[in-house]
Amino acid sequence: MMRNDMAVIMAGGAGMYLKSGMPPVMAEIMGKPMVARAAAAAVNSGIGTVVAVVPAKDTHISEYLKSEFPGKTIHCVEQAVPMGTAHAVLQAYEHIKNCAEAGGNVLILNGDTPFLDANTVCSAYACHKSADNDVTVITAIVSKPFGYGRIIRDTERRFKGIVEEQDADSEVKKINEISAGTYWFKAEKLLEIIDRIPPRANGHYNMVDAVSMIISSGGSAGTFFAPKPDIILGANNRIQLMELNEYAKRQEIEMHLTAGVDIPFRDGVIIEPSVEIGIGTCILPNTMLKGKTKIGKGCTIGPNTVVTDSTIGDNVKLNNVQCTLSVVKNNADIGPFVQIRPNSVIGDSVHLGNFVEVKNSNIDTGTKVSHLTYVGDSDVGKRVNFGCGTVTVNYNGKAKFRTTIGDDVFIGCNTNLVAPVKVGDGAYTAAGSTITEDVPDCALGIARARQVNKIGWKLKK
């Protein structure tokens, strides 16, 4: 629908007001930089060409956008000195020229408006096209319009222009319909004026003046009213950034509640937008669900749990658990104080108890690792019982090796399994053993010195 059209994301500007060394558009809302959310609105609406205007000599934004949207071409052009919104758009002049030759339209949006979505972009585009406007301004009604450009209308409610906060008199400041700073332009019309916009007193060039130039020259200008005022929300300081995160957090939680997820208390619960949760699952306080995490039905997650980029099956219990880049299958019971490190697969009905750490390992159905155990670089079979204090010794100082444990194995307390080593099906290891050689099926591996009592040893000391 929009193959001949383009978007310009204004992502330049200094981050001084956020007191950060990073560009302000890289400030995160619920785990994602604001610029990623803005770019998603453009990409997901089907726009053919997306151009991000970024600060000169700053690779953070361009590198991030390439990694965030693989397979999508997002062009980045530099703005050497931030001199206003129109100056930022001017940096994309060649792309706008190509768009104009193709008879397309240009979407202008800010990189720090994280709640603009593709539905709003597409609806505004349809309004822009049906009215045959040279420019269409997206507007919203807000309760606190301070700092935003006010929408001016005549007595018949026709759009007459935008007045910035610093230019507004007391009457104009009472207006609560504001510009979202997002526009659709005919590319041909934008090309005519973008390099002719006069500077303001501070030397900056403003897109509001581009709209004024079109209106004063007799061009057609209209508005699209966005029913959700949150699309205009941005952050000019860290207090506002915190408020945006709180707003996004509340939205996400309410969406999951509506879908049948039980969240009895919001305290410390953070669910990022890419997370999926099945019905009947309960999320307890101080739980963070991050990245591309998928959680099944009927689970109890938390309290004090962090799950990142992992897949959790049905009816799983995670209590005081950190799980990263791993899979936990159905009916597993894990915690408290368990860490599951990347590339681990925890099988059906597995129990991992207090102070257990698993790394790059596969643990099969019904196995129990009850407490104080490290399982690293290992392949563990079904129905294995780990005694307290077991360690798979996977690193010799130069290289890492794997441990293989068969089905129905009993690992005695304080066993060290020095990889590479294999314990066969049905085998046992004696408590306190350091196993350095394979243990055959159904054998008992004992690797410890016979006890010797030194009679009267203390008296001699």
Please provide the distance, in angstroms rounded to a whole number, between the alpha carbons at the two ends of the chain: 91
Residue 288 and residue 211 share a domain: no
Residue 427 and residue 362 share a domain: yes
Question: Does 372 map to a domain?
Answer: yes
Give every CB contact of residue 221 below 8 A, 6+ residues apart in sequence: 133, 134, 135, 136, 137, 159, 161, 211, 214, 215
128 is catalytic: no
Give the end of a domain, one of 232, 250, 281. Answer: 232
**Chain length of the chain:** 461
The 10 Å Cβ neighbour count of residue 362 is 18
Question: Going by DSSP bridges, is the β-strand pair 317-318/362-363 parallel, antiparallel, or unpaired?
Answer: unpaired
In DSSP notation, 86-113 reads HHHHHTTHHHHHHHHHTT-EEEEEETT-
CATH number, position 369:
2.160.10.10
Task: Return d(Cα 109, Cα 8) in angstroms, integer.
Answer: 6
Q: What is the pLDDT of residue 451?
A: 86
Residue 272 and residue 291 share a domain: yes
Question: Does 461 map to a domain?
Answer: no
Q: Which domain holds residue 263?
A: 238-445
CATH number, position 92:
3.90.550.10
**What residue type is assigned to position 457 of the chain?**
W
Residue 200 and residue 325 share a domain: no
Residue 265 and residue 379 share a domain: yes
Give the end of a domain, one of 232, 261, 279. Answer: 232
Q: What is the pLDDT of residue 18?
A: 65
> What residues form DSSP beta bridges with 90?
none
- Number of domains observed in the structure of the chain: 2
Any idea what DSSP says for residue 85?
A: H
Task: Return d(Cα 416, Cα 394) in angstroms, integer.
Answer: 10
Question: Does 296 map to a domain?
Answer: yes
pTM: 0.85
Question: Does 291 map to a domain?
Answer: yes
Question: Does 455 map to a domain?
Answer: no
Q: Which residues of the chain have pLDDT under 70?
A: 1, 13-21
Q: What is the pLDDT of residue 88?
A: 95
Tokens of 234: 């941005």
> What separation in angstroms does the CA of 105 have from each of 3, 5, 47, 70, 172?
10, 5, 10, 24, 31
Question: Does 88 map to a domain?
Answer: yes
| Catalytically annotated residue among 87, 128, 351, 371 | 371
pLDDT one-digit tens code per residue, 196-219? 999 999 999 999 999 999 999 999
Give every CB contact of residue 266 below 8 A, 6+ residues apart in sequence: 249, 250, 253
Give every CB contact of residue 88 below 8 A, 6+ residues apart in sequence: 8, 10, 12, 53, 79, 82
Question: Does 459 map to a domain?
Answer: no
Give the end of a domain, one of 202, 232, 262. Answer: 232
Half-sphere exposure of 49 (CA within 13 A, CB side): 21
Residue 92 and residue 136 share a domain: yes
Residue 134 and residue 273 share a domain: no
> What residues form DSSP beta bridges with 306?
288, 322
The values of phi and psi at residue 147, to 5°, are 95, -10
Asked whether 361 and 379 are in contact (CB, 8 A), the reply is yes
Residue 374 and residue 258 share a domain: yes
Residue 261 and residue 179 share a domain: no
Residue 439 and residue 335 share a domain: yes
> What residues form DSSP beta bridges with 152?
161
- 305's enclosing H/E stretch is strand 305-308
Question: Does 221 map to a domain?
Answer: yes
> What residues form DSSP beta bridges with 393?
418
Q: Of 406, 409, 449, 408, nearest to 428 (Cα)?
A: 409
Residue 332 and residue 192 share a domain: no
Tokens of 266: 């919001």
Residue 176 and residue 55 share a domain: yes
Half-sphere exposure of 12 (CA within 13 A, CB side): 24
**What residue type is assigned to position 446 of the chain?**
I
Task: Return d(Cα 51, Cα 44) in angstroms, integer.
Answer: 14
Task: Return d(Cα 288, Cα 189) in angstroms, integer.
Answer: 47
Asked whether 323 and 308 are in contact (CB, 8 A), the reply is yes
